[in-house]
Amino acid sequence: MTDIFTEVEEDLRREKAKRLWDRYGWIATTLVVAIVLGTGAFQGWRWYEAREAAAAADRFLAATRAAEANDTEGALAGLAPLASSGPGGYRLLARMQEAGLRARAGEREAAIRLWEGIAADAATPSPYRDLAVLLSVLHSIDVGDAAAMTARLVPLDRPDGAFRYSARELLAAIAVKQGERERAITILRGLAAAEDAPNALRSRAAETLGALGSPAPAGS
């Protein structure tokens, strides 16, 4: 009798399992298919990204070599697709490289517009935005509005600013250009005495102080 009851219980369990599967099995099937498709799509996307990054690296390297060979037109042609729709950081690097090449070729206004666009792009990491501001002001210093340039440089002079000392150097240059000798001297003396400032920048500050007839701080 025990065997009969066992067989009946097993039949009931199988029947119950079948009814559950008939009712809810599609959910399990859908989940499995979704997981498989999702995993495949993720792996496919990673492969696509890796392929695009490798191609972008090759194009950027080719453009850099063209620039080193003074083939500005070839370099710009190679950078154009990266600057417009390149993957990851290659788009930013291409835009920065393009601006530098145009500045070197004498296309100052075009270069400044590119740097200003990079600086205004919220997606650009902060250090690169600061560098773009710095370069745009540097190339505008002879023709730009002093008040506007100063307003753009002041935010760079912050404790965590990667280019704070370079910003101060440009602020001093603007002050000299505006005939504000004492203000320039104050900035330059601070730069020359800043122990954590780059040595080359401290040396330039000391030399400029000498040209302005003011002694550099001791030890600078």
Buried b (16+ CB within 10 A) or exposed e, 12-39: eeeeeeeeeeeeeeeeeeeeeeeeeeee
Residues 111 and 218 in one domain: yes
Task: State pLDDT tens for residues 63-105.
Answer: 888 888 888 899 899 889 888 878 778 888 889 999 999 999 9
Q: What is the pLDDT of residue 89?
A: 81
CA quadruple 69, 52, 94, 72: dihedral, nearest 10: 30
What is the span of the domain harbouring residue 219?
A: 107-220
Same domain, 83 and 144: no
Query: 111 and 209 share a domain?
Result: yes
The residue written with tokens 């003074």 in the block is: 70
User: Looking at 57, 88, 106, which one is the last position of a domain?
Assistant: 106
pLDDT at 51: 58
Q: What is the pLDDT of residue 179?
A: 92
N- to C-terminal Cα distance for the chain? 104
pLDDT surpasses 90 at 9: no
d(CA 3, CA 7): 6
Angle at 148 between CA 124 and CA 203, to 5 degrees: 80
Are 178 and 201 contained in the same domain? yes
Per-residue confidence (pLDDT) for residue 44, from 0 to 100? 47
114 plus 15 within the same structural domain: no
Residues 129 and 70 both lie in one domain: no
Q: Mean pLDDT in the chain?
A: 80
Q: What is the CATH number of the domain that holds 219?
A: 1.25.40
Integer Cα distance of 133 and 148 in angstroms: 12
The 8 Å CB, 24+ separation contacts for 162-170 are 162/127, 162/130, 162/131, 163/127, 163/130, 163/131, 163/134, 165/191, 165/194, 165/197, 165/198, 165/201, 166/134, 166/201, 167/130, 167/134, 169/201, 169/204, 169/205, 170/134, 170/137, 170/138, 170/141
Q: How many domains does the chain contain in total?
A: 2
- Residue 3 has a pLDDT of 45
The pLDDT, as a whole number, for residue 218 is 63
Q: Are residues 155 and 79 in the same domain?
A: no
Residues 122 and 202 in one domain: yes
Indicate if the pLDDT at residue 187 is higher than 70.
Answer: yes
User: 20-65, pLDDT tens digit by residue?
Assistant: 555 555 454 554 444 444 444 445 435 445 556 677 778 878 888 8
Identify the domain boundary among 106, 129, 149.
Answer: 106
Distance CA 147, CA 149 (A): 6
Q: Are 115 and 219 found together in one domain?
A: yes
CB-CB contact of 43 with 62 (8 Å): no
Q: Do 214 and 111 share a domain, yes or no? A: yes
Final residue in a domain of this structure, among 106, 129, 164: 106
Cα-Cα-Cα-Cα torsion 109, 114, 120, 122, nearest 10 degrees, comes to 180
pTM comes to 0.71
What's the confidence (pLDDT) of residue 214?
Answer: 83
